[in-house]
Amino acid sequence: MATRRLILLVGAVLLVAGVIALLVPVSTSDGNGGSIGCGNAVSEDLSAARAANDKNVIANVPILNQIVQHPDFVAQCQSAVSSRRAWSIPLTVIGVLVAGGSLVVGGRSGVKT
């Protein structure tokens, strides 16, 4: 009985951690010590990243004999949200499976005849 409760607790912790990770805001650095909000793993919001890209329109003009990198904030936000989804969704699913499995398997009685 104690093992079933421990497994249920582990599954619940994994589930809660996964849901929190899905809902916590994702951001990326703007290169000036600030950050650009990207939404969260559930709903991506790229409006701030697009605005930051539009602000750098003058900086995107090529200069002869110089190589200047211009960050693509939309791509950085998409990458950050994608990497958050890559580990938080499986964590949530594993939590549901472990917690649900402990309830189903632990509910059986071991009556022998």
How many domains does the structure of the chain reveal? 1
Mean pLDDT taken over the chain: 85
Spell out the residues 6+ positions from residue 3 whose beta carbon is closer than 8 angstroms to its own.
none
Q: CB 18: neighbour CB atoms within 10 A?
A: 21
pLDDT given at position 32: 82
**pLDDT, tens digit (0-9, with 9 covering 90-100), for 11-60:** 999 999 999 999 999 999 887 888 999 999 999 999 999 998 888 755 55
Q: Which domain holds residue 90?
A: 2-106
113 within some domain: no
Q: Has residue 1 got a pLDDT over 80?
A: no
pLDDT given at position 96: 96
Query: How is the chain classified by DSSP, letter by letter?
Result: -HHHHHHHHHHHHHHHHHHHHHHS--EEE-SSS-EEE-B-SSSB--HHHHHHHHHTTGGGS--TT-------HHHHHHHHHHHHHHHHHHHHHHHHHHHHHHHHHHTS-----
64 within some domain: yes
Amino acid symbol at 35? S
The structure's pTM equals 0.78
38 within some domain: yes
Q: Which two tokens stand for residue 29?
A: 């650095």
Q: Has residue 108 got a pLDDT over 60?
A: no
Higher pLDDT, 63 or 39: 39
